[in-house]
Amino acid sequence: MSVLVEVCLESVESALIAEKSGASRIELCSALDLGGISPSKALIEEVCNAVKIPVFVLIRPRQGNFIYTNSEIKLMIRDIEIAIESGAKGIVSGALDNNYNIDIQATKELIKTANNLPFTFHRAFDQVAKPFEALNQIIDLGAKRILTSGQKPKAI
């Protein structure tokens, strides 16, 4: 059984090193020091053109919590469209409501916009109030993966 290695990174140079070192997939973002936010269109294009391994793009408009306004959700939808146009092979995103539950409507729209590309529900999962209920909701919405640190502040 082979192990799939996904590397979270924020530059073309890091992507090339990750691929050369045997990474199976890239999660592309910007500002890792802030917990990761959406990368620019130019960065997505450059990384997708530079490597042969799949590039999944983080869609997160800002640092902080994962409770987004309607205008932020619209921005995220457009960012997903741009990521796909730029060569992304998957999307990493998600949204919570004011009670720290899965924002069903927003997440449904994000997954729909991903247009059948694999969708990973990101670390917003670590902030949900009811993780087992949230897990079932995420599955029902059509997400293929969950990125989690086991509801801890950090994975390591």
pLDDT of residue 94: 95
Q: Quick check: is 155 in a domain?
A: no
Q: Quick check: is 151 in a domain?
A: no
Mean pLDDT of the chain: 93
Rg (CA), the chain: 15
User: Above 90 in pLDDT, residue 155?
Assistant: no
Total number of domains in the chain: 1
Q: Quick check: is 70 in a domain?
A: yes
Q: Quick check: is 156 in a domain?
A: no
Q: How does pLDDT run across 94-139, given as a tens digit for each residue? A: 999 999 999 999 999 999 999 999 999 988 998 898 999 999 999 9
Domain of residue 112, residue span: 6-146
Q: Quick check: is 120 in a domain?
A: yes
- Indicate which CATH number applies to the domain containing 97: 3.20.20.380
Helix (H) or strand (E) holding 138: helix 131-141
CA–CA separation, 145 vs 122, rounded Å?
8
The pLDDT-based confidence of 148 (bands split at 50, 70, 90) is confident
CA–CA separation, 35 vs 142, rounded Å?
24
Q: Quick check: is 19 in a domain?
A: yes
Q: Quick check: is 1 in a domain?
A: no
DSSP letter (8 states) at residue 62: S
Written as six digits, the tokens of 95 are: 């949204």
Q: How does pLDDT run across 75-100, given as a tens digit for each residue? A: 999 999 999 999 999 999 999 999 99
Complete edge-to-edge strand list for the sheet that includes strand 55-58: 6-9, 25-28, 55-58, 90-93, 119-121, 145-146
Q: Quick check: is 101 in a domain?
A: yes
User: Above 70 in pLDDT, residue 48?
Assistant: yes
pTM for the predicted model, two decimal places = 0.93
Asked if residues 130 and 96 have their Cβ atoms less than 8 Å apart, the reply is no
pLDDT of residue 95: 97
Cα distances from 78 to residues 4, 18, 59, 97, 113, in angstroms, run: 29, 28, 10, 20, 9
pLDDT of residue 156: 62
